[in-house]
Amino acid sequence: MEKILIADDERDILTFMEDALTDEGYAVLTASGGEEVFALLKEQPDLILLDVMMPGLDGWEVCRSIRPLVTCPILFLSARGSETDRIQGLMVGGDDYLVKPFSIRELKARVQAHLRRERRSETRASRSILHFGELMLDLDAYQLHYRNRSIPLTAREFEIVQLLMMHPNQVLSRDRIYEKVWGLEAEGDSATVTEHIKKIRSKLAEADPHTEYIATVWGVGYKMGAGAS
C-alpha cells in the first residue's frame, strides 16, 4: 500500500483529502503544520502533498529542508496560483503545483500520475541491477560489487557473470556461454570459457573466501549457485 503524506493547516481540507485518498486505497499520513512533517518522514511516504501557506514553517521552507532527505514526489497545494508562485514551487524542489480550489478528480489524477512515474522509474532501475547473494551487478555502471566492495572485471568476465546471474541456478554449457559472450562468428573455442571462469572465481574468492558463487556441474557446464566452498 502506497503512503501519502498530507500537510495542511486547514482541518476541513485535510480531512477532505484524507478521506478521498483513503477511499482510493492509499495509506494516508496527516500533518497540520510544517514541523509535523519531519517526524512523519520516518514512515517513508511515497508522495507528499504540501500546503504552501502554513503557520510556522511554510511549505517552501519545509520542501527545502526535506528535499535532500526524500526522493518521492512533492506536490504543492496553494491558493496562490501566479506563475511566479508555481515557478517558486518547482525551484525549491517541488514536482507539481495544484491551485486551490481544485477538484478531487484532479487531485487523484495528479497523485496517480506521479506514483505511476515512480513505479516506472523503480522498474527501470531494478532491471539495471542484478543480485545474487551478496553480489550486485550494476549493468549501467558495468561494475560488480560484493557488499560495498568493487570487484574489477574485464569486459568478457563481466559478460560471463551477467549471463550466469541472469540464469541463477541454471546450468549453462561452455559452448552456450562462449556463443553468448563471444558470438557465433568468434574464432576460438569454448575452452577459453574455463580460463575466464577460473579468473572470475579467483576475484570472487578474494572478496568472499567463504562462498563459491560459480559451481561446476561436471560434464555439463557452470551455474550461479552459492554454496560453502
Average pLDDT, the chain: 89
Q: Where are the alpha helices (DSSP H) in the chain?
A: 11-23, 34-40, 59-66, 83-91, 104-127, 155-165, 174-182, 191-207
For residue 191, what pLDDT is reported? 85
Tens of pLDDT, residues 180-199:
898 866 666 778 999 999 99
For residue 124, what pLDDT is reported? 58
For residue 31, what pLDDT is reported? 95
| CA distance from start to end of the chain | 41
The pLDDT of 19-37, averaged and rounded, is 94
* pLDDT of 216 above 50: yes
Instruction: Say if residue 127 is exposed, middle or buried (CB neighbours under 10 Å; 0-12, 13-18, 19+).
Output: exposed
Q: Strand, helix or coil at 129?
A: strand
For residue 228, what pLDDT is reported? 39
pTM given for the model: 0.56
**Rounded Cα–Cα distance for residues 103 and 206 (Å):** 60
The pLDDT of 198-219, averaged and rounded, is 93
Q: Which range in 129-143, 169-183, 195-209 is most confidently predicted, on average pLDDT? A: 195-209
For residue 219, what pLDDT is reported? 87
Q: Looking at residue 184, what DSSP letter applies?
A: T
The pLDDT of 81-86, averaged and rounded, is 89
**Rounded Cα–Cα distance for residues 146 and 33 (Å):** 43
Nearest to 6 by CA among 20, 106, 103: 20
* pLDDT of 220 above 80: yes
How do the residues of the chain divide into helix, strand and coil, expressed in percent and rounded to 5?
45, 25, 30
What is the maximum span of the chain, computed from C-alpha positions, in angstroms?
74
Give every CB contact of residue 67 below 8 A, 6+ residues apart in sequence.
74, 92, 93
